[in-house]
């Protein structure tokens, strides 16, 4: 079933979009005026959404797919860096960390940066692209989403999700599984950022 389309005209400009998209924009605009912006949420300008795995101009990487709102994190898209940034150790072997979320790479990366001594997270936070410097070491669920959408095809990558004092989750893209890797192992690293909608 095709969505109902609405055409808006102003002077020489014409915009055609699904009615549901226009309704979302109208609600978002209304709430943006009525309520203050949420902390740590970057305002969004309407833009065309590229296909999964395609570069998203101006956002620093490729479209990693939609993520529904969860807890206090609004719905967003994942933007993965277009390429790896080397191999790094997770860091602080035999030490517990507060980076225990399986889905929130930002919260994990914030905890790892605050503690210091976490090379993979530090490399992601130092990465910049298209003027954006808010990249994180992906959480386990974020890396799994990259596998589901065939964004990365091979290799073992660090997540920011700790498993224990000795191990953190790594994503095995060849096999499509996750396992615990010793925090001193040097694994591939692919930064990710969130693009709020």
Domains in the chain: boundaries:
1-36, 80-196
**What value does the mean pLDDT take over residues 122-148?**
98
Q: Identify whether the C-beta of residue 190 lies closer than 8 Å to the C-beta of residue 138.
A: yes
Mean pLDDT calculated for residue range 8-34: 61
Q: Are 158 and 187 in contact (CB under 8 A)?
A: yes
What is residue 73's DSSP assignment? B
**Predicted pLDDT at 48:** 86
Q: Lowest mean pLDDT of 27-31, 104-108, 156-160, name the range.
A: 27-31
- pLDDT-above-70 percentage for the chain: 77
Query: Does residue 8 register a pLDDT over 80?
Result: no
Predicted pLDDT at 33 = 52
CA-nearest of 41, 196, 67, 91 to 141 is 67
Q: How far apart are CA 40 and CA 42, in angstroms?
A: 6
Is the predicted pLDDT of residue 34 greater than 80, yes or no? Answer: no
Mean pLDDT of all residues in the chain?
Answer: 88
pLDDT > 80? residue 88? yes
> How much of the chain, in percent, has pLDDT values that exceed 90?
75
Instruction: Identify any residues that bridge with 10 across adjacent strands, giving them in sequence order.
Output: 13
Q: Which has more confidence, 194 or 41?
A: 194
Instruction: Name the CA radius of gyration of the chain, rounded.
Output: 19
Task: Say if CB 151 and CB 80 are below 8 A apart.
Answer: yes
Mean pLDDT calculated for residue range 12-21: 65
pLDDT at 101 over 90: yes
Edge-to-edge strands of the sheet including 76-80? Answer: 55-56, 61-67, 76-80, 192-196
105 contacts 76 by C-beta, under 8 angstroms: no
Q: Model-level pTM? A: 0.76
* pLDDT above 70: residue 123: yes
User: What residues does 73 pair with on adjacent strands?
Assistant: 70
Which range is least confidently modeled, 9-23, 118-132, 145-159?
Answer: 9-23
Q: Which residue has the higher pLDDT, 121 or 30?
A: 121
Residue 83 has pLDDT above 80, yes or no: yes
Closest CA to 81 of 137, 31, 35, 25: 137
Which pLDDT belongs to residue 197? 86
pLDDT greater than 90 at residue 44: no
Q: How far apart are CA 172 and CA 92, in angstroms?
A: 22
Confidence of residue 26 (pLDDT cuts 50, 70, 90): low
């Amino acid at each position: 079933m095709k969505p109902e389309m609405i055409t808006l005209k102003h002077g020489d400009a014409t915009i055609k979009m699904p009615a549901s998209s226009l309704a979302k924009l109208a609600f978002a605009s209304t709430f943006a005026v009525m309520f203050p912006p949420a902390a740590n949420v970057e305002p969004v300008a309407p833009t065309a959404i590229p296909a999964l795995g395609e570069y998203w101009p101006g956002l620093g990487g490729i479209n990693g797919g939609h993520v529904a709102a969860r807890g206090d994190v609004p719905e967003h898209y994942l933007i993965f860096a277009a390429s790896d940034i080397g191999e790094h150790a997770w860091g602080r072997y035999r030490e517990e960390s507060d980076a225990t979320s399986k889905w929130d790479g930002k919260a994990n990366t914030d905890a790892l940066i605050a503690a210091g001594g976490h090379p993979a997270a530090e490399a992601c936070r130092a990465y910049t692209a298209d003027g954006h410097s808010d990249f994180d070491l992906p959480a386990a669920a974020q890396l799994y989403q990259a596998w589901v959408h065939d964004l990365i095809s091979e290799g073992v990558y660090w997540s920011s999700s700790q498993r224990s004092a000795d191990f953190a989750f790594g994503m095995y893209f060849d096999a499509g599984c996750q396992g615990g890797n010793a925090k001193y192992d040097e694994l591939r690293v692919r930064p990710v950022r969130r693009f709020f909608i």
